[in-house]
Structure 1
Amino acid sequence: MKKKTKFLKPAAAGMSVLMAASLCSCQTPSSDSPKAEKTDSKYQVTEENENKELVMNKQPESSYWFPEQLLEWNPDEDKDLAYNVSTIPLAERVDKDNLTPVNSTQNTDTEVMAISIMNSSTSGNAPHGLNKADCNIFTYWQYVDELVYWGGSSGEGLIVPPSPDVTDLGHKNGVPVIGTVFFPQDVSGGKTEWLDTFLTQKEDKSFPLADKLIEVAELYGFDGWFINQETEGSESKPLTPEYATKMQAFIKYMKEKAPESKVIYYDSMTSEGKIDWQNALTDKNSMFLQDSEGNPVADEMFLKLLVDRRQTG
């Protein structure tokens, strides 16, 4: 079987189909990263036998959080905030009407999303590059319409904004860059408690973590969030339709508060609250793209398609 992927926009936006360029596996904790030797100099030297790495003491770090940590995050107390802000505005791309199709069968309405691990781990990333080749040197910006900065792990953090060097580079090329919210499957350390915290709603109908996601995107200067909920729940605490209803309300709240910030929903949790990848737009997942009254919810939905090679050649 050969995997293909696509993502959809709501009917209110034309229900156009978009093809995804790549989907990488989730990042793993960096517990095996080299330990640094203590020195009195400005730099530390890691304990690698042959390829020693210089690590600057008190080096700024790109952000990552668990839900509880983001709720407590105060930008006024974040010493690394200034280093994590993108400074380059989103460039305007050439209008598609001015581009020449490659062949007569090309659909000019098709757009491409890249979902890519730009750094090798969720934690330990410098905001503006490293002194070693330990990242994805993305070189085909001209072929993609948006990029999801893929990240998150149960051992490091679930909420991962793009590092500013990636956002800056995407914006130079007119490509919006999206951060990731990742709730891992149970086998990868997922916990229902993280989802409960994420979807907590106050009496005034606000979602504190939605407000924090909006705050981070606005302060850091990137273009929205990709929400990937794959935690299955347990026998003692199963996921119910209430979780799906809360997720829909969470996304609608984000769009009402920050309509210019994009929200992309990963096809995983269904209207029943269960994790059941539909790989198509169905009655079980359409509620995250459009509500029962026809109002848009998420801007886009990411789907995985399975195609038999025997049928496609």
Structure 2
Amino acid sequence: MKNRIRDIAGPLWPTLVRGRTRVARVAKAALGARAFALAERRRRSLAIDLDRPVGMGGLIAHALLLHAWAEDAGTQLEIRASSPLYGDGRADVFRHWFERGTGNQTAPLGLFASEYLIRHRAPQHVPLDRAYALMAAHFRPSAILSDAIEAAAASIGPYDTAIHFRGTDKVLDSGKVDYRQMFAASDDALRQCEGETVFLATDDPGLADALRKRHGGVTFASYDIGEVPEGMPRHFSSLAPEDKAREALVNIWLISRATRVFRTSSYLSSISRLLNPAQKTVTINRTILAETPFPEQGVLEQEARERGTGQL
């Protein structure tokens, strides 16, 4: 039935999906205003559980904005993530993959109060300079993640250039990107990478094949755990939740190690950018939304500044 509706809606489908989600979240936030006000008055510290079924990059982006709010408000805030995509829906995914203190064990805000905090109290954007500091302070890899990153990096070897091409469900946010757009942006750089390794992170096997045929002298290396059906978003696939988390996080850190990244709009590679302030990015597309999300807005603004000074 859902596929039938999608076919009937055609190009309007992305707008309808996002509109439905936005209406639901606005309604929850409105219902949560009073509950949040009461919690803020009664407690010295607050806790929030990011239990949204969104990708790992989106979870981290939400958490960074919430940490920024807590700093500005002078509030102690504990952030956990029990996202069902990356765990059993109960355990804190962040605590497994990142260094965390003991935590104050404060009961998380209720659903509506959490939505109110995210939508109406937390900032929608913070400058890149501040985002770098927030990322470094709150998302230091645990030993488990560090070991996975270093093992993957060792197997791939050195590289200066990375490509991140996000297809599948990202078209709901930023529209479909034609391969030719990526070729036009990256061809010259890839010709200079003959005999070298380029790190490639993509959920589109067609693009991977096309790049390998187009630049036969380049070694394209990727980090993928398991196979998923073509067109299926990897974070919604049947891969084991821990494998999904490991794959997404290792890719974020591997992309961050590149000096230069050709990318499509995505939380995953915009979070990578926060790990490497010196990294140069070239974003192929622009979001079709009226409000470009954090940290994508900062990445695009930085690219514009660099173009103006001839750094790209």
What TM-score do you get using the length of structure 1 for normalisation? Answer: 0.27
Higher strand share: 1
What TM-score do you get using the length of structure 2 for normalisation? Answer: 0.27
